[in-house]
Chains A and B, each alone.
Chain A
Amino acid sequence: MSDPLSQEVDAFVHHEARLLDECRYAEWVDLFLPDARYWVPVSIEQRDPMDGPSHFHDDIQVLKARTHRLANPRAFGAEPSPRTAHIVSGVRVDRTMDDGALVVSSTQIMLEYRNRGGFEADQRMFGGRVTHLLRRMPEGLRIARKRVDLINAEGPFNAMAAPI
């Protein structure tokens, strides 16, 4: 953890999660490269997002629309807006690709809360392995791919508004 690359990557992954928790969605989307993909598959075995449907499989257009929608008071699925708290742990550079891109993995838990009248069901927990493919750009590290392997990926989910 003491080497500069590990520190930089660790700070980046924490920063990205912080932007989500603070609902700074425009800044969050800006961390993604124009040809990036944000992917939450339905199985950890899924190799290619085109092998089957996914919970999320967003390109930059959909990411922008999704996060723009979160700010709209008529997005009923997000009314009231979800609040989230990410816990990020075990950030690690798994390998460096030939072109210099970094494969980074971490374990994350996201608590999500929407006030829908109270009681326990208003708060949910999502968690699992997050894998980033990061590229070094002039402005800093940027996300080429983000894959979230939820431990309950196969299971049915109720409406999800907040990206994980």
Chain B
Amino acid sequence: MASAPQIEVPDPTALVREDKVHRSVYTDPAIFALEMERIHGRAWLYLAHESEFKAAGDYVVRHLGTQAVILTRDKQGAIHGIFNRCSHRGATLCAFDRGSAPHGHQCPYHGWTFNADGSVRFVSHPRNYDGVLDPADQAIQSVRIESYRGFLFGNLAADAAPPLLDFMGHMKTSIDDLVDRSPTGKVECGPYVLRHYYRANWKMTFENLNDTIHPGFAHAASVVSARNVASALPASEQPVATLGMMLANGKPIQFFQDIDMVTAPGGHSYIGGHMGASYTPDAQNGYVQAMTAFHGAERTREILSIDRHLMLLYPSSFWHARYQTVRILRPVRHDLTEMIGFVFRLVGAPDETYANAVEYCTGANSAASPVIADDLEIYERCLLGNGFGDQQWIPMSRGLKETREVTNAFTRSPATSEAFIRNQFAAWSSYMAQA
């Protein structure tokens, strides 16, 4: 955040009320630029898992807001984050989003080469710089990285950022939920990532993923089609998991009214699980036996009894512990957003457990998923519709008077509530208010 430009925006907190938000937060490029400075420039953003770095020199390129960062493992095993930018002329160093650079990152322009931590390894034709420039001063700016249970987060605010654990608060329990499901205590990031994008604002995904009213409408067509196929199955055949996922969107609204939504300071939230017992690795005996051998029977029951749907870690990632899927949201422009899906293997669990997770991730993050395709269409229609007409304010008042429990760590509401959206905008206002 060293040299953020000054952006002229009227007081951004005036755009958010308790029960409504001004539509310009989705459509205004100036607000997006300010968000990248004040929200993504300050929050802890999920970047990578330590299992993605097997050997010294292994690297991935990820984003903190709109800024590209290279994460590289050094010879001692430490993982460093530096901007993907040569300190000479500014060219990006890495063209690929992952790879191996055991001899450092070399700029394609004049060959300057950098270590994992950004320090200079080589400057071409150094005699020209004698008495002029000290290569030691040309290190690439690094970013602060913290790890929680192997998951690496970055923060552009460096020392001004709170500790990662303070940022996550109660939501760390959803990361525990993911790792605890491993019968060895280890999880491993799968080798392939699944990406989609849409032409609309990044907040649309945050406000949609735990919205339990829209599936009955936006996904009605896939519910009808899944039922059509399921009803024609012979008695001996069960619906496959992907079909089950499509069917789950057809649950009556009362079902979602009865389950909980948990919101927490910082804009984070999750809701209770609703995919149904038939779509779960818990039913696999081999898995439960391996879990019991590692955790003991009581602890295994405790771990497997947790049933949460997505945890939304504001403002950048989505965690599905039960299906070992983590998604990163990458804001590109005010009207362009990329979603990157990762699947984790519970080391020591049967192959079927990983297969379930793979299938879940495909259903939940593929642009070709019948469910996601409808969501993306809706996001883009909202961007279009918010560009005209006189109605400037978008209500977010659903369930405003239905709070179930308030503690210091979290607030509980019905899963049909828009409490999670109000909670996101409370965090949004708090970030955006600080110059």
Contact = CB atoms under 8 A, between A and B. Distances in A.
A160 B218 contact: no
Contacts of B361: 53
30 contacts: A42-B192, A46-B192, A50-B351, A50-B355, A50-B358, A52-B190, A52-B191, A52-B192, A52-B193, A52-B194, A53-B343, A55-B366, A56-B366, A58-B242, A61-B233, A64-B225, A65-B225, A68-B224, A76-B377, A76-B381, A77-B377, A79-B377, A154-B195, A156-B196, A156-B340, A156-B367, A157-B368, A159-B198, A160-B368, A161-B373
Interface residues of A, number: 42
A65 B197 contact: no
Given A53-B192, A75-B221, A78-B373, A65 B358 contact: no
A87 interface: no
B229 A64 contact: yes
B222 A42 contact: no
Given A69-B370, A74-B220, A160-B367, A51 B239 contact: no
A158 B377 CA distance: 9
A51 B362 contact: no
B372 interface: yes
Contacts of B218: 76
A52 B343 contact: yes
Given A57-B359, A75-B374, 19 more contacts: A50-B351, A50-B354, A52-B193, A53-B361, A55-B367, A64-B229, A65-B222, A65-B228, A65-B370, A66-B225, A69-B370, A75-B221, A75-B373, A77-B372, A77-B375, A79-B377, A155-B195, A156-B195, A159-B368
Q: Lowest 8 CB-CB distances: which A-B pairs, in order?
A: A52-B192, A77-B373, A156-B195, A75-B221, A157-B367, A69-B225, A159-B373, A53-B194
B196 A157 contact: yes
Nearest to B197: A156
A24 to B, nearest CB: 17
Name the residue in A57, A61, A66, A74 with the highest tally of chain B Cβ atoms < 10 Å from its Cβ. Answer: A61
Interface in A35-72: 40-43, 46, 49-59, 61-62, 64-66, 68-69, 72
Nearest to A40: B368
Nearest to A79: B377
B69 to A, nearest CB: 18
A61 B370 contact: no
A143 B378 CA distance: 34
B187 interface: no
Contacts of A79: 377
A76 B221 contact: yes
B386 interface: no
A164 B127 CA distance: 57
A69 B218 CA distance: 13
B28 interface: no
A164 B221 CA distance: 21
Contacts, number: 147
A74 B246 CA distance: 14
Which range holds the interface residue count of chain B? 35 or more
B19 interface: no
Contact of A72 (B192, B199, B221, B375): B221
Interface in A82-133: 116-117, 121
A144 to B, nearest CB: 17
Chain B interface, DSSP helix/strand/loop, else mixed: helix
B226 interface: yes
B376 interface: yes
B243 interface: yes
B341 interface: yes
Contacts of B368: 40, 55-56, 157, 159-161
Contacts of A161: 368, 373
Contacts of B338: 156
Interface string B105-148: 00000000000000000000000000000000000000000000
B240 interface: yes
B193 A61 contact: no
A57 B374 CA distance: 18
A124 to B, nearest CB: 11
Contacts of A54: 194, 362, 366
Contacts of A160: 367-368, 373
Given A51-B192, A56-B368, A76-B218, A61 B198 contact: no
B329 to A, nearest CB: 12
A58 B343 CA distance: 18
A69 B192 contact: no
Nearest to A155: B195
A42 B370 contact: no
B229 A68 contact: yes
Nearest to B376: A159
B365 interface: yes
Given A68-B229, A77-B374, A61 B239 contact: yes
A55 B370 CA distance: 11
Contact of A65 (B229, B372, B373, B375): B229
A74 B197 CA distance: 22
Interface in B366-416: 366-368, 370, 372-378, 380-381, 384
Nearest to A117: B384
A155 B225 CA distance: 28
